[in-house]
Amino acid sequence: MSTAATLERLYQLTSEESLIQIAGKVLAEERITPEEGVLLFEKATLPFVGTLANHIRERKHGNITYYNRNFHIEPTNVCVFSCKFCSYSKLYAHREEGWELTTEQMLDIVKKYDWQPVTEVHVVGGVHPKLTLEFFADLLRKIKAHRPELHIKGFTPVELDYMFRKAKVSVADGMKYLHEQGLDSLPGGGAEIFHPEIRQQICDDKVDAEGWLAIHEAAHNLGMHSNATMLYGHIESYFHRVDHMERLRQLQDKTGGFNTFIPLKFRNGDNEMSNVPESTVVEDMRMYAIARIYMDNFPHLKAYWPMLGRNNAQMTLSFGVNDLDGTIDDTTKIYSMAGSEEQKPAMTTKELTLLIEQAGRVPVERDTLYNSISSAPVLT
Ligand code: V47
Ligand code: SF4
């Protein structure tokens, strides 16, 4: 849609002057302020933010929608931390009820994909005190020795902060070391909600906002890329969501190292926050749309389908999203244990591309760094 046509449509959707002013800025490719971000959450309807987000999405990416071929390794669900929203971890005190993979078992998972055209392994799990910096450095070396071209996206700042402190190394040295051993990029997890008012209530014992951001900054300084998430739809207010996005936007201005922003819908299955109702689908779509409007310096916006469910993930493609993540192959348990409708998350590339095409978009296979894979092999 042309800018003039978008503006005309927006005039039909609201008579609120403050919203029209925000739209004017966005269409002129100007950044909106935190106050304007909160105002969008408070006042704008889904059609309004959706139209604006879709305009930005099409300006940046046209109809292209990315997906990738990936699998996860979850080394352990034993964790020294006790985040209230987590349905997945077993406290270290009850470690016999959890799982803990050996290096050989994790390499066997990698080897299972030897003849498959996967491009990425995502390694993330609980924080087990026995799994040290050296343990993971050894794992990285062994994965790379076996399959050098497989991109390793691994470890949240929660895991890294713990490993580095135990090994008594600085963040800069620890990151450099893991990068040299084979770590290619960082996933977006562990961010939750940065603002201490909320962080203290939902995950008070793990790395704080400053620590999370410092680790991503150190990775960016080494030329590594990373993602960022936000766990939304629980006890946070619109102000806290905007504050979270603002901190990320500022770091991105400084380093340019983030690839994608991933809002993660809070799922309330079987955790200490099960009494908190989940967000509605309208609120989910508004979240994605406003994220696309606010995060002007993030190239990509991802809807992680195992968390949102494939149908709602498909719908986000009309609300600013240009990436659905990957095939997954039922290798992660975090979201099924939290009550997602995707109890065995796995999609073939045929299913992923169909899902994208049904939304009127053009599927493109990507690698982790968003290079498109033009010689994509037969869809299976
Ligand atoms: O940080 C945990 C979230 C995250 C729940 O970078 C929950 O490409 C909702 O960050 N309801 C880890 N969310 C996963 C993650 C991720 C996933 C996929 C792709 C990428 C990427 C990153 O999962 C945690 C936390 O925010 N989480 N429990 C829950 N009950
Ligand atoms: Fe541990 Fe991560 Fe679960 Fe928190 S969210 S308890 S850090 S596994």
Structure confidence by residue, pLDDT tens digits, 338-349: 888 889 899 999
The angle, 0 to 180 degrees and rounded to 10, between the axes of the packed helices 46-61 and 17-27 is 10
Mean pLDDT of the chain, nearest integer: 95
For ligand 2, whether the C-beta of 127 sits within 6 Å is yes
| pLDDT for 30 | 98
C-beta of 206 in contact with ligand 2 (< 6 A): yes
Q: Which residues of the chain have pLDDT under 70?
A: 375-380
Residue of 18, 25, 20 whose CA lies nearest to 9: 20
Distance CA 158, CA 124 (A): 10
> Within 10 Å of residue 180's Cβ, how many Cβ atoms?
12
Calculate the CA dihedral of residues 130, 133, 137, 139 and round it to 10 degrees: 20
For residue 333, the model assigns a pLDDT of 83
CA distance 90 to 209: 24
pLDDT at res. 378: 46
In this predicted structure, what is the pLDDT of residue 376?
52
In this predicted structure, what is the pLDDT of residue 332?
A: 86
Residue 226's pLDDT is what?
98
Estimate the crossing angle of helix 46-61 against helix 281-294, to 10 degrees: 50
Distance from the CA of 11 to the center of ligand 1, in angstroms?
37
Which pLDDT does position 21 carry in this prediction?
A: 97
Report which protein residue has its CA nearest ligand 1's atom 9.
266
Centre of ligand 2 from the C-alpha of residue 45, in Å = 34
Exposed e or buried b per residue across 92-108, where buried means at least 16 C-beta atoms within 10 angstroms of its C-beta: beebeebebbeeeebbe
Ligand 1 centre to CA of 149 (Å) is 25
Among 74, 77, 86, the mutation site with the greatest number of ligand 2 atoms within 8 A of its Cβ is: 86
Nearest-CA residue for ligand 1 atom 10 is 189
Q: What is the pLDDT of residues 239-285, one digit of tens each?
A: 999 999 999 999 999 999 999 999 999 999 989 999 999 999 999 99
Q: Is the shortest distance between the CB of 86 and ligand 2 below 6 Å?
A: yes
Look at residue 121 in the predicted model and tell me its pLDDT.
Answer: 98
Q: What is the pLDDT of residues 184-211, one digit of tens each?
A: 999 999 999 999 999 999 999 999 999 9
Nearest CA to ligand 1 atom 18: 304
Best of 215, 229, 266, 274 to mutate for ligand 1, by most ligand atoms within 8 A of CB?
A: 229
Q: Is the minimum distance from the CB of 86 to ligand 1 under 6 angstroms?
A: yes
For residues 157 and 127, what is the distance between their CA atoms, to the nearest angstrom? 11
The alpha carbons of the chain give a radius of gyration, in whole angstroms, of: 20
Ligand 1 pocket check for 271: Cβ under 6 Å: yes
What are the structural domains, with CATH classification, of the chain?
A: 3-60 (no CATH), 64-374 (3.20.20.70)
How much is the pLDDT for 339? 84
And the tokens for 179?
Answer: 């990068």
pLDDT score for 375 = 58
CA of 288 relative to ligand 1 center, distance in Å: 16
Q: Which residue has the tokens 């990029």?
A: 185
